[in-house]
Amino acid sequence: MSVVLIAGSPGKLSRTAALVAHVENSLKSQGIETQVFNVTDFNASELLFADVAAPQIAHYRNAIAEAQAVVLATPVYQASFSGAIKLLLDLVPERGLKEKVILPLANGGSDRHLLILDYALKPVISSLGASSVLGGVYVNSRHVTLDAEKRYRIGAEGLERIDRAVSELLGLIRAAQEQPAKSLASPGYAALIGS
C-alpha cells in the first residue's frame, strides 16, 4: 500500500510542505509506504513544458499510477490553488486518479477562501476520475506558525483536523485493501458533479 503526497507551493519555506511532512510522518508511523513530491524539487522547465519523458516526471507519474491514495496540498493563490500544483496535476494522465482515495489539503492567509477545496480543487480531482475524495482540510496561516528555529509548526487546532482526516484516509485505504473488488465510491462528490 503506498500513498503519494504532493506539495504544491513554490515557496522554499512553506506551510504547505509542513502540512505534507506532518501527514507523511503520520502515515509512516502506521506502516504506510509514502512518496513525497514537492514542486520545488522538479526541474522548472520540464514541469512547465510537461516533459513526460524526463526521468523525474516519469517517476512521479509511475508513483501516482501505483499509489492507493494521493494527498494533494496547495497554498491558496488568488482565490484558487497554486499554478504549481496545477502543473503537477496536468501531468496526471486522463482518469489517472481512478480508484484512488484523495485527501485534499489547502492553506491560505485567512479563511476568506476556505471553499477553494470545493469550488477549485475538487472539480479537478474529480475530472481525473477519482472515485473517493475526502472532505479535506483547510487551515489558515494562524494554524501554521514559525518556531524559534524558523521551522513551521502546526498548532493544536490544525493538527486535530488534519489527524482526523488522516485517520479517515487510513480507514478507506485499509478497507480498499481488504475488499479490492468492492467500490469505495463515495456517493458524495463524484455523484454530485456526475463523473
Ligand X SMILES: Cc1cc2nc3c(=O)[nH]c(=O)nc-3n(C[C@H](O)[C@H](O)[C@H](O)COP(=O)(O)O)c2cc1C
Query: By the criterion CB under 6 A, which residues form the site for ligand X?
Result: 9, 11, 14-16, 75-79, 107-110, 112-113, 141
Choice between 89 and 101, CB closer to ligand X: 89
Choice between 11 and 129, CB closer to ligand X: 11
The DSSP annotation for the chain comes to: -EEEEEE----SS-HHHHHHHHHHHHHHHTT-EEEEEEGGGS-HHHHHTT-TTSHHHHHHHHHHHH-SEEEEEEE-BTTB--HHHHHHHHTSPTTTTTT-EEEEEEEESSSTTTTHIIIIIHHHHHHTT-SEE---EEEEGGGEEE-TTS-EEE-HHHHHHHHHHHHHHHHHHHHHHH-TTS----THHHHHTT-
Choice between 2 and 40, CB closer to ligand X: 40
Choice between 16 and 26, CB closer to ligand X: 16
To the nearest whole angstrom, how small is the minimum distance from the Cβ of residue 27 to ligand X? 19
To the nearest whole angstrom, how small is the minimum distance from the Cβ of residue 22 to ligand X? 13
To the nearest whole angstrom, how small is the minimum distance from the Cβ of residue 62 to ligand X? 26
Choice between 29 and 78, CB closer to ligand X: 78
Residue nearest to ligand X (CB): 108
To the nearest whole angstrom, how small is the minimum distance from the Cβ of residue 118 to ligand X? 15
To the nearest whole angstrom, how small is the minimum distance from the Cβ of residue 106 to ligand X? 8
**Residue 60, C-beta contacts closer than 8 angstroms, at least 6 positions apart:** 37, 42, 88, 91
Choice between 15 and 22, CB closer to ligand X: 15
To the nearest whole angstrom, how small is the minimum distance from the Cβ of residue 77 to ligand X? 4
